[in-house]
Amino acid sequence: MNDLSLLPLNTIFKELNSGKEGLSTKEALKRLAKYGPNQLKEKDPTKWYHILLGQFANLMTLILGLATIISFAVGENLDGYAILAVVILNVIIGFLQEFKAEKAVKALKKLTAPYAMVLRDGIGQRIKANELVPGDIIILEEGMRVPADARLIESFGLKSLEGSLTGESQSVEKHVIELKKVSGIGDLTHTVFLGTVISHGHGLGIVIGTGMKTEFGLITKLLDLAPEEKTSLQKDITRLSKILIIIVLFITAFLFALAFIKGEKLLQMFMLSISLAVSVIPEGLATIITLTLAIGVQNLAGKNAIVRKLASAETLGLADVICTDKTGTLTQNMMTAQRIYINGKEIEIQGTGYDPSPSFTADSKELKLLLTAGALCNNASLIKEKSAWTIIGDPTEGALITLAQKGGFLKEELLEKMAKKSEMVFDSERKLMSTVNGNFLFTKGAPDSVIKVCNLSKKEKEELLKKNAEFAKKGYRVLALAYKELKKNGEPKEENLTFLGLTALSDPPRPEVKSAIELCRQAHIKVVMITGDHALTAQAIGLEIGLFKKGDRILTGEELEKMSQADLAKIVENISIYARVSPSHKVKILKALKQKGHTVAMTGDGVNDAPALKNADIGIAMGISGTDVSKEASDIILTDDNFATIVEAIKSGRAIYSNIKKFIRFLLSANFDEVIVVTCVFLIGGPIPFLPLQILWINLLTDSLPALALGMDNVEENLMTLHPKKHSSVWKEIIKLSLFVGVISSVMSMVVYLKTVNVYSAEHMRTIMFTTVVTFELLLVFSVRFANKNYFTGFFKNKFLLLAVALSFLIQILAIYTKPLQKILETVPLSFADWSLILSMSGATILILEIWKVYKNRNSLNAIQ
Degrees (nearest 5) of the Cα angle 471, 473, 475? Answer: 75
Give the whole-angstrom CA distance, residue 429 versus residue 494.
13
Selection from 174, 225, 140, 505 nearest residue 340 by Cα: 505
Give the whole-angstrom CA distance, residue 446 versus residue 468.
10
User: Known catalytic residue: 320?
Assistant: no
Categorise residue 794: left if φ over 0, alpha if ψ from -120 to 50, beta otherwise.
Answer: left
Q: Are 449 and 432 in contact (CB under 8 A)?
A: yes
Task: Label residue 360 exposed, middle or buried (CB < 10 Å: 0-12, 13-18, 19+).
Answer: middle
Categorise residue 475: left if φ over 0, alpha if ψ from -120 to 50, beta otherwise.
Answer: left
Could you tell me the end-to-end alpha-carbon distance of the chain, in angstroms, rounded to an integer?
A: 47
Selection from 787, 649, 658 nearest residue 719 by Cα: 658
Give the whole-angstrom CA distance, residue 100 versus residue 118.
38
Selection from 359, 406, 346 nearest residue 382 by Cα: 406
Q: State the sign of the Cα–Cα–Cα–Cα dihedral 217, 222, 228, 230.
A: negative
Selection from 523, 577, 560, 542 nearest residue 864 by Cα: 523
Secondary structure (H, E, C), 404-467: HHHCCCCHHHHHHHCCEEEEECCCCCCCEEEEEECCEEEEEECHHHHHHCECCCHHHHHHHHHH
Alpha-carbon distances, residue 500 vs 39, 420, 477 (angstroms): 49, 20, 17
Residue 330 DSSP label: I
Selection from 183, 194, 198, 199 nearest residue 219 by Cα: 194
Give the whole-angstrom CA distance, residue 660 versus residue 310.
13
Task: Label residue 338 exposed, middle or buried (CB < 10 Å: 0-12, 13-18, 19+).
Answer: buried
Q: Kindly report the number of other CB atoms within 10 A of residue 3's CB atom.
A: 10
Residue 129 DSSP label: G
Selection from 321, 335, 353 nearest residue 529 by Cα: 321
Strands (E), 657-773: none
Strands (E), 146-247: 149-161, 172-173, 191-192, 197-209
Q: Kindly report the number of other CB atoms within 10 A of residue 137's CB atom.
A: 23
Find all residues with CB under 8 Å of 339, minimum gap 6, and list them.
346, 347, 348, 349, 471, 476, 503, 504
Q: Are 841 and 780 in contact (CB under 8 A)?
A: no
Instruction: Report the residue count for the chain.
Output: 865
Task: Please name the amino acid found at residue 144.
Answer: M
Alpha-carbon distances, residue 511 vs 321, 400, 642, 742 (angstroms): 22, 21, 10, 53
Catalytic residue (one of 79, 320, 325, 713): 325
Q: Kindly report the number of other CB atoms within 10 A of residue 522's CB atom.
A: 12
Q: Are 623 and 629 in contact (CB under 8 A)?
A: no
- Burial 88-116, CB ≥16 within 10 A → b, else e: eebbebbbeebeeebbbbebbbebbbeeb
Which residues are catalytic, by number? 325
